[in-house]
Amino acid sequence: MCGIVGYIGYREAYPVLINGLKRLEYRGYDSAGIAILNEVSHVYKCKGKVSDLEKYAKGNDVSGHIGMGHTRWATHGEPNDINAHPHKSFNGKFVLIHNGIIENYSTLKDRLINRGYKFTSQTDSEVLVNLIEFLYLKGGVTAEVAVRLALSKVEGAYGIVVMCSDEPDKLIAARKGSPLVIGVGNDEYFLASDATPIVEYTKSVIYLNDQNVAVITKNELVLKTLKNIPLTPEIKQLDLDIGEIDKGGYAHFMLKEIFEQPRSIHDTFRGRVYSEGTELRLGGLFQVLPKLVEAKRIIIIGCGTSWHAGLVGEYLFEDLARVSVEVEYASEFRYRNPIINSGDVVIAISQSGETADTLAAIRLAKESGALVLGICNVVGSSIPRETDAGVYTHAGPEIGVASTKAFTAQVTVLAMMAILVGREKNILTEAQYHHYIKELMAVPEKIESILKQDEEIRKMAEMYQDVNNFLYLGRGYLFPVALEGALKLKEISYIHAEGYPAAEMKHGPIALIDHHMPVVVLAAKDHSYDKIVSNVQEVKARKGRVIAIINKGEATIKKMANHYIEIPESDAVFSPLLAVIPLQLMSYYIAVLRGCDVDQPRNLAKSVTVE
Ligand code: G6P
């Protein structure tokens, strides 16, 4: 949450910072600001989006070659001009941007107030910049020493960039818990919360680790620990193209990402399926495969959409590999007293690789001695670096706040893992193993055929744009898809929606059904098909409006439903990958018709780096 950027070099900093903030806006968008050092530091900040900041800064002096920018997702203090970052220190010596939470800010603030400091904002970040300044002035130390001293006194998480007007040739950056990437150019450096603002300038990057401090001048970067131990920066090459982070002609990133799924799923299994589809290999798991195969239990952890993918994983591992699985919200798991045995394998799922609760749950699992694996999309993010091994989803950058292609890529990885373990355990016969691989390889083409119904789905959305509630029902593999469909609608259209296992409807939700209530029924042909037919009848008998997701050629539900969308037949194992597509499109169109900001829905952020 919150996006931070920094620049030092020979270019004008302003356009670099503004473009960078636009790329990071998915991380938070309730206020934005920049500071540019040009003899003195000029700070411009306001409530609203980066486009509002541009309007605000227009006509002002934004010249200079050193600067920082911030796009905020409020934690301490409401979104307004004053609470927006950057924050200037009381005596004006320091300017800071911060992503994270300073947990002991209140104690530190009281101490600073006792020493005469005055505060203008309600933020924890202003406490940090004042603490840095206080230690700087009191100790007569350098800016870097003051930053390190201050950070040794704070509890919580931070990714920060600091400028000091007495040392106008440098940026100081540090991280603990919140991501920071440094782009290395020729006589210039870029700083950002992720690599997307950097890739158009350089592909050479350094990922800061926790407790790292970087002191950066235009032609030198000094990396050290908080305790002043020198470190050798490890420069990595980005595998990211600028085209991947543009809308590519689509009205929204979300729509682009929905339409990318045939390609992104293909990219997820590309290089992992061999010999014309008869062999499956997951290089990232090679060393740990024996342990995964012997696992007594698998515990899957994640948040939001990643947790829904985990639920599909439960069905997959139980079905194909006969191993018992528990799926946990990372946020609950970390604060329970979970029983984790050494024979357990924990799988953490995360698109961003930065979700604070998932990271904390991973640390807890590691302490217990379990093997911890990751399924992540963002290469080089914190979760892949903290897990023992794992599999990247390779879905490409996902920028729309509502997750779409990351979900299908996560399910694809889980399916590959379950098939692999099932085969190693001899649960799957050779023929079944090949059957599943072939079915997986057929998924992208099947999704193409669903995407062709885009216009029908848009027309259908017109009829439901004004409703207040939605119910989503599914059974078996399609129950998690019902949850995911409801979440998508809630997130971007602000319509209340609930996902339920279809059979549970009669234990409560059925009381809600009347002629106002649209019920989305996921009814692919599997062993529970007849039961779903009965559920549809129960909804119809109470005058509910049924939107059915059915297989091509299905006749019974088609006749009963008010609307239907056909998806190709597949093995039940892969039905989530198909059934979720029309739900994503329907949510998208309903949200667009309601005039909602699809890519940046209110109150949400894509990368949740606070608990
Ligand atoms: C946020 C996002 C969701 C995402 C969840 C987990 O809530 O808005 O789209 O599913 O975080 O994020 P992760 O990056 O760990 O998958």
Find the catalytic residue in 2, 46, 164, 303: 2
- Cis bond upstream, residue 384 (ω within 30): no
Between the CA of 330 and the centroid of ligand 1 the distance, in Å, is 12
Between the CA of 500 and the centroid of ligand 1 the distance, in Å, is 21
Assign 192 to helix, strand or coil.
strand
Q: What strands, in cross-sheet order, belong to the sheet with 389-392?
A: 324-329, 297-302, 344-350, 371-376, 389-392
Between the CA of 304 and the centroid of ligand 1 the distance, in Å, is 5
pTM of the model: 0.88
**Predicted local distance difference test score (pLDDT) of residue 370:** 92
**Predicted local distance difference test score (pLDDT) of residue 275:** 66
Q: To the nearest whole number, what is the mean pLDDT of the chain?
A: 94
Alpha-carbon distance of 363 to 358, in angstroms, equals 9
Closest residue (by CA) to atom 7 of ligand 1? 304
Q: pLDDT digit string (tens) for 246-293?
A: 888 999 999 999 999 999 999 999 999 986 778 899 999 999 999 999
Q: pLDDT digit string (tens) for 118-169?
A: 999 999 999 999 999 999 999 999 999 999 999 999 999 999 999 999 999 9
Phi/psi of residue 128, nearest 5 degrees = -65, -45
Assign 185 to helix, strand or coil.
coil
User: With a cut of 50, which residues of the chain have pLDDT below it?
Assistant: none
First to last CA, the chain: 10
Closest residue (by CA) to atom 1 of ligand 1? 606
**Predicted local distance difference test score (pLDDT) of residue 397:** 92
Integer angstrom CA distances of residue 107 from 289, 306, 414, 472: 48, 36, 45, 47
Task: Verify whether residue 606 is a known catalytic residue.
Answer: yes
Assign 174 to helix, strand or coil.
strand
Pocket (CB within 6 angstroms of ligand 1): 303-306, 350-352, 355, 358, 401-403, 604, 606, 608
